[in-house]
Structure 1
Amino acid sequence: MRPEIAEAYDTRATVSGTTFDDVMAEYRRRSDTAVAHLAGVEGIVYDRPSAQRLDIWGLGDDARPVFFVVHGGYWRMLSRQDTAFMADVLAARGVATVAIDYGLAPATALPEIVRQVRSALTWIYRNGGEHRLDTDRIIVGGSSAGAHLAATTMVPGWQESAGIPQSAVRGGLLLSGLYDLRPLVHAPANEWLYLTNESARAVSPALGTAPSTPTVIALAEREASGFVQQSTDLHQRWSDAADSRLLTVPGRNHFDVFLDLAEPTSELSRALFSLIDSTARTDDAVPTQTVPVTGAHS
């Protein structure tokens, strides 16, 4: 354990215990409210070996673009039921939300978690048409550990063996994430991740080939320093391969910034709308919105 690394990656130290508990409860409360009156399908088993499940919300009569969202929780807590609070906002714009579960650490090793999330993405690409999803318009996203896992679906190199095109993911909204996991070998998180230098490298999307799809790399104003540095570094690495925007959301912390996706006029929601709109075909394109960006951008 290295104290300076432990401090840099201690998200809980950035908020009070009461704030943390309140935000965790708000995830579930707002998710329940968001999906209460939406058409959807719950509990689809997307991966037979692990029996992990996903939900699809905001279905309509037309083929809808997809926001494939992965929950955070430092790879060891939360679920898909805590991660649908944006579903009604997106449904109002004709977009479906896919929220997924994955096995939690320490019972599930991180390489297996990555495999499961990629399996979920593969399932949606192959089977989404049966649920009137436009599988040529998939945007992935997530917060914290969920941003890391969403990023692992964006990088090239795994799609061919899964039988899907490298272009299956059309863009990403990565929020408050970690992308080079090697520092966690020396942080408290390794008490449940059991990473080695080799395994951490293998599951680090920042260390592989950059994707050729647009990305919004976002973070809250109040983040632990390691998360700020990792977002900045990923933006610098990926901006050479494709459009990458680095967005800092003022007045938010590592935990409550994710809830901005439940507000249709928030800067984070506008960034997501812009990514979705960028996938539209020329015959059904809708005007994109200008996305104000705080921080560097390419």
Structure 2
Amino acid sequence: MHWTEMDRDELERQLSPSRWSHRMSADDVVKAHVNALKEGTERARALAQTLLNVPYGEGDGEKLDVYIPRTDSLDVPLVIYIHGGYWQFLSKEESGFMAVPLVDKGVVVVAVGYDIAPKGNMDLMVSQVRRSVVSVVQQYSHISGLYLCGHSAGAHLAAMVLSTDWSQYSIAPQIKGAFLVSGLYDLLPIQSTYINEPLKMTEEVAIRNSPRTLVPQLKLSSSGFHVVVAVAENDSQEFRKQSQEYYKALEASGLNVTMEDVPNTDHFNIIEQLVDGDYHLTKLLLKMMGRS
């Protein structure tokens, strides 16, 4: 069923990932998710050398956390992780967890902070993540490859980074790959739900910030560039549909894109398990970076 045919209650149910987990109740799955991310990030901070709260702009929220492998090599891949939380929860403080298996393989992980709603609006958040990528490229000129990873609202923001017209910036980052996990790529359905209350998006803002409609202007060099669109088996139909439609749009535009439908996962543990080097998506990410 298309979202325009759903009543508000059904649409809100479709857009509430915590109500779709088979593992535990909605409240418990969110609590467990935050705890898992925090624990993973604490482990990453113990394992890696860290540079915390590195500014990428003037704003208080415009800061990065960098997790650096103990390696002498100057030729290191770098992954920028953009956290989820429906553009209104979570922060970079719980977003270093994927560094646990990656720093061992000589990969730098950067967790991006941005101003969540109600302080930040959608246009600002998109601008912030774009500027964070430019700043990372300027600060780490010796990286062998730049990759993006985002979860949920973070996958939306990562997709918006891919849709950037870099001619308006001082530098055009050469992004080699993107890992978009359980994301939303069309914001129009959100506009009429409770999720939009702190965001206050107008229809115009929702359209302007929907990666699905921006695919035709993707200016990515297709050589060697790879996008993975991943979705959980137990994501809602709306989340699964949005991932499939975005994947198909990328494929139709001639990009090298893979769809990963991850079995036995829900919206939360699909990303939590990136703390584990043996997890399917971790292996896929390492393979994309030539580090498997």
Question: CA-to-partner distance for each residue in 1:172-202, whole Å, 9 max, x for gaps?
Answer: 0000000111111122211111112111011
Displacement of 1:45 after TM fit? 0.7
Aligned residues: 273
Q: Does the CA-based 8 Å contact 1:9-1:225 persist in structure 2?
A: no
Q: What is the 5 A alignment of 1:247-286?
A: 247-277=260-290
| 2:165 corresponds to 1:163 | no
* TM-score normalised per structure 2: 0.89
Aligned to 1:52: 62
- Distance in 1 of aligned mates of 2:98 and 2:62: 22
What letter corresponds to residue 70 of structure 1 in structure 2? I
| SS of alignment partner, residue 107 of structure 1 | coil
* 1:7 pairs with one of 10, 13, 17: 13
The residue type paired with residue 34 of structure 1 is: A
Structure 2 contact 40–100 (Cα < 8 Å) conserved: no
The residue aligned with 1:196 is: 202
Q: Deviations over 1:31-62 (max 9, x none)?
A: 10122131121110111145511011124322
* TM superposition score normalised by structure 1: 0.87
2:255 counterpart SS class: coil
Q: Does 1:145 align with 2:153?
A: yes
Q: How does 1:53-132 map to 2 (within 5 A)?
A: 53-59=63-69, 60-63=71-74, 64-129=76-141
1:7 CA displacement: 2.1
Following superposition, the deviation at residue 138 of structure 1 comes to: 0.5
Deviation (angstroms), 1:120: 0.5
For 2:3, the equivalent position in structure 1 comes to none
Pairing 1:19–2:29 present: yes
Structure 2 partner of 1:32? 42
The percent of aligned pairs where both chains have the same amino acid is 27
CA distance in 1, matches of 2:139, 2:167: 17
Indicate conservation of the 8 Å contact 2:12/2:193, yes or no: yes
Partner of 1:154: 162
Please tell me the residue identity of whatever aligns with 2:152: S
Aligned 8 A contact 2:50 2:65 in 1: yes
Deviation sequence 1:112-139 (CA, Å, 0-9, x none): 001001111010011113xxx50x5100
8 Å contact from structure 2 (residues 77, 145) kept in 1: yes
Q: In the alignment, is the contact (CA less than 8 A) between 1:73 and 1:145 conserved in 2?
A: yes
Structure 2 spans left out of the alignment, 5+ residues: 1-6
1:88, distance to aligned residue in structure 2 (A)? 2.5
Structure 1: give runs of 5+ residues left out of the alignment.
Answer: 278-285, 290-298
**3-state SS in 2 of match to 1:248:** strand
Matches within 5 A, 1:220-231: 220-231=232-243
